[in-house]
């Protein structure tokens, strides 16, 4: 009997090894019934963008939050801000604005002012299992349970969208709440580039707002740029180099006070050398 065991045990182990090799290497199960968190980075961006666009349409922050959790980002706000900046760089300004607005709403922790009415129902994902045809017998239960546990929280089912019927389809919520110019100071810092115009845009909670479009005009020209393109200096930061002796006017595209007659100041360094100073403008949502 002991002789049999000496043969059976190695055979069992060898069989186990062959079975694992077949299951993991030769015939792995196809990728089906996956979750959004398993998507490739560019598709995750697309998914995130769709979430932001839907949020911009219905203002349902909890629905957006539940959807973002499916992507498995360690910090959804950071991910949205980073995506907004990538989109700005790709000239996808509307989508960037949606992503930035969702990031801001999440950061503020309250519902965004819904610009457009869509649904006004509580959010509840279906809790039934997929049909047999859709269900992958091997992987679906685990993943679906995760999803169900995420979406069947009472907090989700009790949410009522704060959107109410509005007469217009204005997409930018801040148009009704223009930004105020709360700070305008001339800077004489020889360490900064000559004629540097710094702009900082804050939301109502004094958090920096990425993706805000800034209009600057001068005699014979105008230009637009966005906050958040230099995240190392702040998500709500943007800058512009002013030409000496040219008067500039600055306003936010979202609606704001106008900073007019900005003329780069002439400054004197400690060694007596002259250089062109700059300005720092701070806009804040009331």
Partner 1 sequence: MKSNRWLFAFIALLAGVALGLAYGWIVEPVDFFDLTPDTLRADYKADYVLMVAETYRARSDPGFAARQLAVFGSQSPTSFASQGLEYARANDFASEDISLIQELITALQAWSGIP
- Strands 274-276 and 266-268: what pairing? antiparallel
Closest separation in Å from C-beta 285 to partner 1: 22
- Which of 130/183 has CB closer to partner 1? 130
- For residues 53 and 233, which CB has a smaller minimum distance to partner 1 in the complex? 53
Quick one: which H or E segment has residue 239? strand 237-241
Q: Which stretches of the chain bind partner 1, using CB under 8 A?
A: 3-4, 7-9, 11-24, 28-29, 31-36, 38-41, 43, 46-47, 50-51, 53-54, 56-58, 67, 70, 115-116, 118-122, 124-126, 128, 130-131, 134, 138-140, 143-144, 147, 169, 171
* DSSP code of residue 121: S
Question: Is-contact 160 120, C-beta < 8 A?
Answer: yes
Least distance to partner 1, CB of residue 221, Å: 31
Q: How far is the CB of 146 from partner 1 (least distance, A)?
A: 11
With contact defined as beta carbons under 8 Å apart, do 123 and 66 qualify? yes
CB of 75 to partner 1, least distance (A): 19
Coil, strand, or helix at residue 184? strand
Nearer to partner 1, 58 or 284 (CB): 58
Q: Pairing between strand 274-276 and 180-187?
A: unpaired
How many Cβ atoms from other residues are within 10 Å of residue 225's Cβ? 15
The residue among 6 and 223 lying less far from partner 1, judged by its C-beta, is 6
């Amino acid at each position: 009997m002991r002789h049999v065991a000496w043969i059976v045990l190695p055979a069992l182990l060898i069989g186990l090894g062959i079975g694992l090799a077949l299951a993991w290497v030769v015939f792995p199960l196809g990728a089906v019934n996956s979750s959004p968190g398993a998507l490739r980075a560019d598709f995750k961006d697309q998914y995130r963008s769709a979430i932001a666009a839907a949020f911009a349409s219905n203002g349902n922050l909890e629905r957006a939050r539940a959807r973002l959790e499916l992507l498995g980002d360690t910090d959804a706000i950071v991910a949205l801000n980073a995506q907004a900046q990538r989109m700005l760089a790709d000239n996808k300004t509307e989508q960037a604005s949606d992503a930035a607005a969702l990031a801001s709403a999440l950061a503020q922790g309250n519902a965004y002012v819904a610009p457009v009415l869509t649904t006004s129902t509580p959010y509840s994902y279906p809790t039934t299992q997929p049909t047999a045809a859709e269900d992958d017998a091997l992987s679906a239960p685990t993943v679906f349970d995760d999803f169900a546990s995420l979406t069947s929280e009472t907090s989700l089912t009790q949410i009522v969208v704060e959107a109410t019927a509005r007469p217009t389809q204005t997409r930018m919520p801040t148009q009704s709440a223009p930004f105020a110019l709360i700070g305008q100071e001339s800077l004489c810092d020889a360490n900064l580039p000559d004629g540097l115009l710094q702009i900082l845009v804050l939301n109502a909670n004094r958090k920096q707002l990425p993706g805000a479009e800034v209009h600057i005009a001068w005699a014979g020209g105008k230009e637009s740029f966005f906050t958040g393109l230099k995240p190392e200096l702040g998500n709500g930061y943007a800058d512009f180099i002013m030409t000496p002796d040219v008067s500039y006017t600055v306003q936010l595209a979202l609606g704001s006070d106008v900073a007019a007659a900005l003329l780069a100041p002439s400054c004197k360094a400690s060694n007596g050398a002259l250089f062109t100073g700059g300005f720092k403008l701070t806009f804040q949502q009331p």
